Amino acid sequence: MTAGRRLAAAAVAALTTAVVRGVLDTSPPGGPAAWTRTNHRGEPVSMLEGPAVAAGLLAGALVGAPSARGALAAGVAVAGAAGFGLVDDLREDTTTRTKGLRGHLGALAHGRLTTGGLKVLGIGATALAAAAVVRPAGGRAAHPVARAADTLASGALVAGTANLLNLLDLRPGRALKAAGLAAAPLALTGAGGGVAAAVLGAGGAAVEQDLAEADMLGDGGANAVGAALGTALVLGAPRPVRLAALAAVVALTVASERVSFTRVIERTPVLRDLDAWGRRPAAPPVAPPVAPRADAAPGAPAA
């Protein structure tokens, strides 16, 4: 794939993201309140970034995919991740407070389907469908059992990456920075370079408002970005690299059930500085008022 094709994919993704975001701002489906949430500072933030980024990824992947199969696979993976993520964003039952992969799977085991559980099933199904369509780097294994295993591993990578990016979307810019760092080397070479370039383009168009804490990806946007990254890996990375990436994604996902990524980042200087780059500084703590001394004369200043 030529460098021009990758640049075109990035440009189309960035332009589409910006245009769709502007259109959604003028007429958000269901009204602005449906898309407004409260961020970690207790301030309102819009989730309209999510569908805008998903639209940019779809347009950029269509331009940058190496083949019709690659375009279909990226489209199915991104659309599925965005669609089921948006269902969770807009229809989540906040009274149950079911959180985490283990929580949603536990609810399913007890016969209760949460929007998060629906998202797990839906993204898993669309990721597997995308993996079945795509021709991965290195080709498919000859034996039917090996081909089935390869498809399952590729589907798990796409779904797992979608979930992992969503786990990082807890602070402004964090998920987009992680996606950019992962997509940059993928965009330089290989059949997945165009899809990875679309990730860079869409993320570049959205990151300013994300860092300004006016917008956030939400599940719809973060899942879509992760699914696009996973598809780029399946398209362009050899089998050993895909399996290593899958192992890393699974390990991080399992760790997230017990360890706070935010705490790990805050305790690691390099990660802390990268995470904070471009973001508004934390508000300084407000000192409590000093009570006057009991022995102070009336009208005397407090000590």
Cα(275)–Cα(286) distance, rounded to whole angstroms?
A: 24
At 35, the amino acid letter reads W
pLDDT for 133 beyond 50: yes
Q: Which two tokens stand for residue 1?
A: 């794939």
Domain boundaries of the chain, sorted by first residue: 3-96+123-257
pLDDT in tens, 214-261: 999 999 999 999 999 999 999 999 999 999 999 999 999 999 888 999
**HEC states along 147-215?**
HHHHHHHHHHHHHHHHHHHHHHCCCCCHHHHHHHHHHHHHHHCCCCHHHHHHHHHHHHHHHHHHHCCCE
The tens digit of pLDDT for each residue in 158-217 reads 999 999 999 999 899 999 999 999 999 999 988 999 999 999 999 999 999 999 999 999
**pTM of model > 0.95:** no
State both tokens at 283: 């508000």
Q: How many CA atoms lie within 13 A of 123 on its CB side?
A: 37
Reported as a single tens digit per residue, the pLDDT across 11-32 is 999 999 999 999 999 989 989 9
The torsion of the CA quartet 104, 118, 214, 27, rounded to 10 degrees, works out to -160
Output the average pLDDT for the chain: 88
43-60 confidence digits (pLDDT tens): 899 999 999 999 999 999
Query: What pLDDT is stored for residue 142 in this prediction?
Result: 61
Written as six digits, the tokens of 176 are: 């987009």
For the cut 70, the answer to whether the pLDDT of residue 105 exceeds it is no
Decide if pLDDT at 283 tops 90. no
Residue 223 DSSP symbol? H
pLDDT for 244: 96
The two structure tokens encoding residue 111: 């016969």
Give the type of residue at 277. W
